Chains A and B, each alone.
Chain A
Amino acid sequence: VSETRRAAPDDAFFWNAAAEDRLLIQCCADCGTLRHPPAPMCGTCGSLSWDTLEASGRGRITSWIFSLHPNRPDDAPRVVILVQIDEGVRVVSNLVDAPHRGPYDDLRVVVEFRDDRGARTPFFRLDEDAS
C-alpha cells in the first residue's frame, strides 16, 4: 500500500484485499448492512462488529466524467466513473481501456486490478459479456 493510500484501521482490509486482487465490501456483522467507504460503526444498528463480503466485481456506471487534467501532469486523461456494485454500494474508480470520451451512462462494468503508483488498485473495464 503506497503512502498516498495511507491505509488506516478503518480501511486497511480494503487495500490488503486489493493487493490480492479481491474487492471486499464492509458489512455489519450484526445487521448485515453494507457500507462504503469503510467506517468504524454501522449507521443502521450502531454495531462496531463488522465483516467483509467479497464482491463479484460486476456493476453498472451510475455517473462518469472525462477528466481532462488529472492530478499529475504526466498522467493521461482518464474516465472517472461512479459504479453501482451489484451487491449494493457505490464506488469511485476509473474506466480502463476506455474506447472513447463517452457517453458511458448505465453501462455494465467488471473490476480489473492494476498497479497504480505502487498500490494494487481496483479499476473497471466495460463488461463485454453484459447486455
Chain B
Amino acid sequence: VTDAIIAGIGATEFSKDSGRSTMQLAAEASRAAILDAGLTPAEVDGMVTFTVDGNDELQLMRNLGIEEITWWSRTPGGGVGACATVQHAVAAVTSGAASAVLVYRAFNERSQYRFGQPHAQPVGPPPLDWYSNFGIDTPAKMYALWFRRYMHAYGVSNEDFGRYTVSARRYAATNPKAWFHDRPITLEDHQASRWIVEPVLRLYDCCQESDGGVALVVTGAERAPDVEQPVAIVATADTHHRDASITSNYYHDDLAGYPEAAASARRLFARAGLTPADVDVAQIYENFSPLVFLVLEAYGFCGPGEAAAFIADGNLDPGGALPTNTHGGLLGEAYVHGINSIQEGVRQVRGTAANQVGRVDCSLVSSLNSGLLLGRA
C-alpha cells in the first residue's frame, strides 16, 4: 500500500470546440485541482504529464504561479500511460523528491489535432512504416488488426461489443458532465452505425474526440487530515513486455489476450493484498470497446473468452457485480486520454459521482498497461 493520496481533482468542461488554447485548458484544470487539494500553486513542487501532451511544464508553471519544481516526468505510450502518471507522482512524493505533484493532461483533440484521422504522409519512424504503407494509418485500424484475432478465437461478434457501448452510453446519459448526457442508445442504434473498420469496429465502438483538460494533485498521506476529500492510492502498477507495441501489438504468442494488463493486475492485487472480488467499481480505458473485453479477462473478472457473456448478463450495469465506466467511459463522457477515468475513480471513493454506486472501498482504474487501486484515506 502506497503512502500517498490523491488530494485534489479538477477539470474543464468536455466539448468538441473549447474555443481556447490547450494551455488555458491545462491551467484551468490544474488550478481547480490545486485548490481542491487545499493547496496554493506555490506549494506544488512536482509535475507529471504524458509525453504526447503539448503543454510545456515551464509555461504552465508561469500561468499557475508555481514557483519551483523539483520533479518532473512524462509517461510514454499515450493513453496506456494514464495511470502510470500517478505511479510517477507516488514515486516522487514517497521518495521525498517532491511533496505535492500536479498531474495534468489537456488538448483540443477534436477542434485542433485529431488523433483518429488518417494523416497525409503515410510514414513514421519504425515501426510505423511497416504498417502505414499497407493501410494501417489510423488508431482504429491499428487496434482492429489485433482485436480481430480475439473475435475469431472466441467467436465474439461486433454485436457483442455493442452491448458494452449501450451500457456506457446509459451511464453517460445520467452524467451531466458527459458529452452524451441524456443521449442513451440501443443495440439497434449501435448495429446501424457505420463501419469504421469492418468487421471489428463500428462508429459507436470508437471513443469520442474531445476538447478538455483534467488534472490531479498527489501528495503524501500525512497531508490527509488537511485535505477535504482525500483518496488513498492503495496500489499502482505499470507493465510493458517485449514483442509488443502501443500501436501495433501483433507479435505476442497469443493475440487473443492482453498479457501486460494481466501482469499489471497481478501486481496491483498483490501489492494491495486484495483480489478481483474486492473491487467495488471499475473504470477501464476504452479508446475502442473491445479493450473492455480484453481487460475484464486480463484482470480475472471473467475467464478468457467470457467477457461477452459477462457483459450481456448486466454485470457492468447499475447494480451489477462490477459497475464499470460509471461516467460513461471514453465513449460516453469524453476522451481526455483516460485521465478523466482516474477522476471518476476518485469521485466514486469520495461518494460524489453522478452515478454513485454506493459506498466504495476499492475503486479500480485500468488504463490497460497501467492501473490503480484507490480506496478510503
Taking Cβ atoms with an 8 Å cutoff, the residues of A that contact B are 3-6, 8, 10-11, 37, 43, 62-72, 75, 78, 80, 82, 90-94, 101-103, 105-106, 116, 121
Known: A80-B135, A90-B251, A94-B134. A69 touches B127 (CB 8 A): no
Which residues from B are CB-within-8-Å of A80? 134-136, 141, 145
Is A62 in contact with B199, judged by CB distance below 8 angstroms?
A: no
B144 at the interface (CB under 8 A from A): yes
The main secondary structure of chain A at its interface with chain B is loop
Nearest CB of chain A from residue B126's CB, rounded to whole Å: 6
Nearest CB of chain B from residue A16's CB, rounded to whole Å: 16
Tell me the chain B residues, 132-164 only, with Cβ under 8 Å from chain A.
Answer: 132-137, 141, 144-146, 148-149, 152
Closest to A11 in B: B126
Is B148 in contact with A67, judged by CB distance below 8 angstroms?
A: no
Known: A6-B123, A6-B129, A37-B130. A64 touches B137 (CB 8 A): no
Is B123 in contact with A64, judged by CB distance below 8 angstroms?
A: no
Is A4 in contact with B133, judged by CB distance below 8 angstroms?
A: yes
Which residues from A are CB-within-8-Å of B242? 43
Closest to A2 in B: B133
Tell me the chain B residues, 102-147 only, with Cβ under 8 Å from chain A.
Answer: 118-119, 122-123, 126-127, 129-137, 141, 144-146
Nearest CB of chain A from residue B31's CB, rounded to whole Å: 40
Which residues from B are CB-within-8-Å of A75? 135
Nearest CB of chain B from residue A25's CB, rounded to whole Å: 13
Is A92 in contact with B198, judged by CB distance below 8 angstroms?
A: no
Is A66 in contact with B199, judged by CB distance below 8 angstroms?
A: yes
B200 at the interface (CB under 8 A from A): yes
Nearest CB of chain A from residue B350's CB, rounded to whole Å: 41
> What CA separation (Å) do A80 and B253 show in the bound complex?
20
Closest to B147 in A: A63
Known: A65-B144, A65-B198, A103-B199. A71 touches B122 (CB 8 A): yes
Is A92 in contact with B134, judged by CB distance below 8 angstroms?
A: yes
Tell me the chain B residues, 146-199 only, with Cβ under 8 Å from chain A.
Answer: 146, 148-149, 152, 195-199
Is B146 in contact with A101, judged by CB distance below 8 angstroms?
A: no
Q: Which of these, A5, A11, A64, contacts B145 with CB under 8 Å?
A: A64
Which residues from B are CB-within-8-Å of A82? 145, 149, 250
Nearest CB of chain B from residue A36's CB, rounded to whole Å: 8
Which residues from A are CB-within-8-Å of B144? 65
B255 at the interface (CB under 8 A from A): yes
Which residues from A are CB-within-8-Å of B199? 65-66, 101-103
Given A65-B144, A101-B199: 7 more A-B contacts, CB < 8 Å: A4-B129, A11-B126, A72-B122, A75-B135, A80-B136, A82-B149, A92-B134
> What CA separation (Å) do A76 and B138 show in the bound complex?
16
> What CA separation (Å) do A91 and B199 show in the bound complex?
20
Closest to B256 in A: A63
> What CA separation (Å) do A101 and B127 show in the bound complex?
27
**Pairs across A and B, CB under 8 Å, 5 listed:** A4-B122, A37-B130, A65-B198, A67-B136, A71-B135
Closest to A93 in B: B134
Closest to A38 in B: B126
> What CA separation (Å) do A29 and B37 show in the bound complex?
58
Which residues from A are CB-within-8-Å of B18? none
B12 at the interface (CB under 8 A from A): no
Of all A-B residue pairs in the complex, the 4 with the closest CB atoms, nearest first, are A71-B137, A71-B122, A63-B149, A66-B198
